[in-house]
Amino acid sequence: MLKDNIQDNTIYLKTFTLRNKDISEIKDDIKKQMILIIRITPLAQKDVDDLRIVIEDLYKSVSTLGGDISRLGEERIIITPPNVKIWHKGDNNLNTVI
């Protein structure tokens, strides 16, 4: 029974490389409550405007579900489900948790 409870609460981490504007798989994974680390460099090298549009679309999708999105350096972004929050520099909410 304990094993069943652990499986129900499992959060998966998935890596993905963004090569074009098709983000349907990413949106599906967001709905599945996965943590996603997405490499954005290939699309950025092809078309910066497309990258901006994709990031805005992902931001809206993540925000609607209560998740979080942030940059990881120059080449990656991370998307988290609602129960996983990303600490941002200057974010004082961490003090209320500890």
Q: What is the pLDDT of residue 9?
A: 80
Q: What is the pLDDT of residue 97?
A: 45
Cα separation, 89 vs 64, in Å, equals 23
Sign of the dihedral through C-alpha 68, 56, 38, 92: negative
Q: What is the pLDDT of residue 72?
A: 94
pLDDT in tens, 17-74: 999 888 999 999 999 999 999 999 999 999 999 999 999 999 999 999 999 999 999 9
pLDDT in tens, 64-73: 999 999 999 9
CATH number 3.30.110.150 is the correct assignment for the domain at 11-97: yes
pLDDT at 5 over 80: no
pLDDT at 94 over 90: no
- Say if residues 55 and 18 touch (Cβ distance below 8 Å): no
Could you tell me where the beta strands, DSSP code E, fall in the chain? Answer: 13-17, 35-39, 68-72, 76-80
* Residue 18: CA count within 13 A, CB half-sphere: 29
